[in-house]
């Protein structure tokens, strides 16, 4: 079977500190539980757990608004994100193109193609069960946004909405479930068709 060219995606930019802590714990726990697949994670689980705990402690300490404590919190945040990036690379290398392996680590995926038709991205929304979709704008474009829990089934795709702007919010999704997203873009003279698919585990 031909393997897909997929990347492991963190989708953690823009998340609050508590949400980053929760996502980091989710991924670390998933890698730890699936030890048969992720035999020698880099960074290792104790290092990841310690970094998550350090950020959580720093976040609680910074609740009084002190500048020095906030600076420490942001340093711990940066440390954790560096480790998360390394862990995502390890998962991606282990998966070797199998997106199911990436999902085992509770990470999102993005299909990579040699020709990027639409510059499409999916990020978490401000509320649980919500996402924010964005694509490169096309002059005079019409955007049709869709999502699915079973992208190989053509009838499973849900029309989330249509807009004249290149970003769109979707809410009411089920936390902990994997969703795939895509957008079709066209104007009077150009039809770009559907974007590449992006999947995420909704939180």
CB 199 within 8 A of CB 109: yes
pLDDT at residue 5, as a whole number: 66
**pLDDT score recorded for residue 1:** 32
Q: What are phi and psi of 116, to 5 degrees?
A: -85, 105
pLDDT at site 54: 97
Pairwise CA distance, residues 147 & 174, whole Å: 12
Q: What is the pLDDT at residue 56?
A: 96
Domains in the chain: ranges and CATH: 6-104 (no CATH), 114-201 (2.60.40.10)
Kindly report whether the peptide bond that precedes residue 43 is cis, defined as omega within 30 degrees of 0.
yes
120 strand-pairing partners: 135
Q: Is 179 helix (H, G, I), strand (E, B) or coil?
A: strand
* DSSP one-letter code for 154: G
Cβ atoms of 7 and 112 within 8 Å: the answer is yes
pTM over 0.75: no
Give me the pLDDT at residue 7, please: 81
Q: What pLDDT sits at residue 153?
A: 82
- Report the distance separating Cα 7 and Cα 70, nearest Å: 33
Q: Residue 118: what pLDDT?
A: 52
Q: How much is the pLDDT for 116? A: 40
The mean pLDDT values, 10 residues at a time, for the chain of 203 residues are 64 88 94 95 97 96 90 95 94 88 89 56 91 91 93 88 95 92 88 84 90
What pLDDT, on a 0 to 100 scale, did the predictor assign at position 28? 96
């Amino acid at each position: 079977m031909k393997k897909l060219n997929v990347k492991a995606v963190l989708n953690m930019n823009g998340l609050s500190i508590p949400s980053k802590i929760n996502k980091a714990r989710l991924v670390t726990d998933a890698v730890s539980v699936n030890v048969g697949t992720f035999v020698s994670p880099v960074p290792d689980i104790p290092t990841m757990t310690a970094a998550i705990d350090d950020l959580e402690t720093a976040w609680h300490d910074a609740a009084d608004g002190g500048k020095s404590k906030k600076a420490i919190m942001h340093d711990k945040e940066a440390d954790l994100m560096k480790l998360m990036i390394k862990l995502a690379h390890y998962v991606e290398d282990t998966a070797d193109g199998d997106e199911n392996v990436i999902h085992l680590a509770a990470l999102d995926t993005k299909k990579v193609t040699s020709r990027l038709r639409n510059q499409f991205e999916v990020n978490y929304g401000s509320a649980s069960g919500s996402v924010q979709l964005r694509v490169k704008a096309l002059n005079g474009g019409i955007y049709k946004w869709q999502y699915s829990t079973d992208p190989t089934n053509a009838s499973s795709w849900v029309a989330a909405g249509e807009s004249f702007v290149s970003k769109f919010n979707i809410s009411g999704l089920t936390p902990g479930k994997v969703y795939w997203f895509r957008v079709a873009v066209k104007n009077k003279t150009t039809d770009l068709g559907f974007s590449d698919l992006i999947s995420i585990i909704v939180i």
